[in-house]
Amino acid sequence: MSQATELLAPVAPSRARAFGRPIWTAGLAAAAAWAATAAVTRALPNVVAFGSDDLFAGLTGFGAVGFLTLAFAAPRSGRVRETLDYYGPWFIAVGVWLALWEFTTAKTGWLPKPFFSAPTGLLHVYVTDGDRLLYCIAYSARLWALGFGLGAVIGYVAGVALGWSKPFAYWGMPILKLIGPVPATAWIPVTFFFFPTTFDASVFIVALASGIPITILTSSGVAAVDRAYYDVGRNLGATSWYLISRIAIPSALPHTFVGLFMGLYYSVAVLVVAEMLGAKYGLGWYIQFQTNYSGYANVYATIVIMAFICAGLVKLLFVVRDRLLGWQKGFI
Amino acid sequence: MSAVLARAPARSLAIALDKVSHAFNLRGSPLPVLQDIDLHVAAGEFVALLGPSGCGKSTLLRLVAGLETPTQGEISADGRVIEAPDPSRILVFQDPTLFPWATVWRNAATGLAARGVLERERGRVDEALELVGLTAFARAYPHQLSGGMAQRAALARALVNDPALLLLDEPLGKLDSLTRLTLQGELLSLWRAKGFTAILVTHDVEEAVLLSSRVVVLSERPARIQREFVVAAPYPRHRDDPELVSLRREILASLGLPT
């Protein structure tokens, strides 16, 4: 132990010099890039007008001031500083990207309307149509939560039953193998006919799309449980219920999570299609509606929202998985 | 440790196998693994089963545990026919088979939780972990344990149920030789303190001679009882005891191995 500290001692100061730089230089570059964006937006005349120029210049200028402050005020070491150092190149790249984007669209018209939009155009959509977008987000969120929730619960219960019970597997597996590969979108026209409202039909479609991978993966996980675990359980006096709930289910959980991730992707994909075809509100409907009016800025703005929502959901599922499957660390 | 051992009740089972034969169903055709096994193990006895690889020793233990039923013959514990597994007869496997998703404490508590008595008898889990020296690792997960520690945890999981019969299926087979020697000693002191009946399947003749009071040698599959050796030496035994060394040589010869 003391030997180890002796070995480290001469190394430590040089490390401190290497990493403990007083000024966060990437922050200076980022501030310059973001300031350039603000300057391009504010100083050059518009060839094509998208609106919200002042707000965009203000926001990017505010960002530039923020980076400049951080460049001098950021802590010399520690967690915050490591994060800043790590993401520094990204902050610069985003600033450069915004400046080029604004320049090639609004300022020169090289990338023409309506298929291309300027960053100011996207911002303008959020400013002018924010209420409707929020309503659409809420509408899609309700549809997704109901569909995915139902699909996950029913799919999970069905998966455990199929993996555990021989009669269930005998009757259920062939049906699952036949229905499972059919793309859920193929059901959309008939379900709109069978369900009283398009919303009910959409919930069903989303539930189907997310439920099937969860069922397949959970059942295969339960069926693949090491028989020796059941021997241990039976030997120690476990009931069937204990074998299912305390051995089969936790043992199959890694599979179940793969199913949940697949279900998450399918559910969002199907949700957008279902909304495009028959909904009165929702992000999918909004994209479809705006495309009909050549509102491509609105379409891009919606895609950006979707990207953040989907990435957030995936991240959330990862957090849940890491909490529940912490015991797996030695295996993966 | 000794305090825990002292107040453990002496509980043991007498096991009788009468003309037990067993066959596996292998793609429609029967594969006989055990043939006409007659074996009586007295209450509190430590019997070791030796035999060639794959001869059916493990199957014999599974039958006595009640995890499978013999195709012919009868196995009884204290005169009652064994038809189903029971926590009084516990099988310890070559692999620790700990549940990877549960902590060491939770694993040890499996028997009590499975029978719904964990809340009343939580103390037994702590006692068992203390007995095998894993108190400090109660909150660890199986992947954090060494092979020897994992096998100790499996032993604790068995001991929590205060078994009257311990069926040991090469429990030390996969351990390194030093850990193995340590655990042999611990197993022996547990048996002597608790007084349960023990049936040990092993490939290690020295281990059989060192631990058991009787060594039963089985033949190639389908296994029959070939010979029995009584190990009369009193405990504690020493590996270099000339009597044990010559007995070991005799057993190896009966297995057809050069001595």
User: What is the ipTM, given to two decimal places?
Assistant: 0.89
Residues A19-38, mean pLDDT to the nearest whole number: 89
All CATH 1.10.3720.10 domain ranges in chain A, comma separated = 122-326
Q: Domain count for chain B, please give it.
A: 1
Q: Is B161 on the interface with A (CB under 8 A)?
A: yes
Verify cis geometry, omega within 30 degrees of 0, for the bond prior to A189.
no
How far apart CA B186 and CA B166 sit, in angstroms, is: 14
How far apart CA A94 and CA A113 sit, in angstroms, is: 22
How far apart CA A226 and CA B137 sit, in angstroms, is: 25
Residue with tokens 């300057």: A39
What Rg value do the Cα atoms of chain B yield, rounded? Answer: 18
- The answer to whether A236 contacts B157, with C-beta atoms less than 8 Å apart, is yes
Chain A residues 217-276 within an 8 A CB cutoff of chain B: 226, 228-229, 231-239, 242, 246-247, 250-251, 253
pTM, to two decimals: 0.83
Q: Among A147, A136, A145, which Cα is nearest to A299's?
A: A136
Right CATH for A122-326 from 3.60.21.10, 3.40.50.2300, 1.10.1740.10, 1.10.3720.10: 1.10.3720.10
Nearest to A231 among B67, B143, B144 (CB): B67
Considering the domain boundaries, does residue B246 fall inside one? yes
Are the beta carbons of A180 and A220 closer than 8 angstroms?
A: no
Give the ranges where B160-204 is alpha helix by DSSP (H). Answer: 177-194
Residues A291/A297/A303/A306 CA torsion (nearest 10 deg): -110
- Band (A4; pLDDT cuts 50, 70, 90): very low
Q: Is A186 on the interface with B (CB under 8 A)?
A: no
Q: Which chain B residues touch A330 with a CB distance below 8 Å?
A: 100, 141-144
Considering the domain boundaries, does residue B216 fall inside one? yes
Q: Among B75, B81, B50, which Cα is nearest to B220's?
A: B50
Are the beta carbons of B107 and B153 closer than 8 angstroms?
A: yes
Burial class, A18, CB count within 10 angstroms (exposed 0-12 / middle 13-18 / buried 19+): exposed
Considering the domain boundaries, does residue B121 fall inside one? no
Considering the domain boundaries, does residue B122 fall inside one? no
Residue with tokens 């292998």: B26
Identify residue A129 by its one-letter amino acid code: D
- Band (A280; pLDDT cuts 50, 70, 90): confident
By residue range, what is the domain housing residue B67? 1-84+201-259
Per-residue pLDDT, A330: 54
CA A182 to centroid of chain Cα atoms: 25
- The answer to whether A327 contacts B100, with C-beta atoms less than 8 Å apart, is yes
Considering the domain boundaries, does residue B146 fall inside one? no
pLDDT tens for B42-99 read: 999 999 999 887 788 889 999 999 999 999 999 999 989 999 999 999 999 989 999 9
Considering the domain boundaries, does residue B109 fall inside one? no
Specify which residues B200 forms β-bridges with. B48, B168
Considering the domain boundaries, does residue B51 fall inside one? yes
For residue B252, the domain's CATH number is: 3.40.50.300
Q: Is B144 on the interface with A (CB under 8 A)?
A: yes
Are the beta carbons of A133 and A302 closer than 8 angstroms?
A: yes
Number of residue pairs across A and B with CB atoms under 8 Å?
A: 77
* Mutation choice for A interface testing from B91, B95, B110 by most A CBs within 10 A: B110
Q: Roughly how many angstroms between the first and final C-alpha of chain B, as a whole number?
A: 40
Considering the domain boundaries, does residue B116 fall inside one? no
Point out the least confidently predicted range of A47-61, A231-245, B62-76, B243-257: B243-257
* Mutation choice for B interface testing from A222, A236, A246 by most B CBs within 10 A: A236
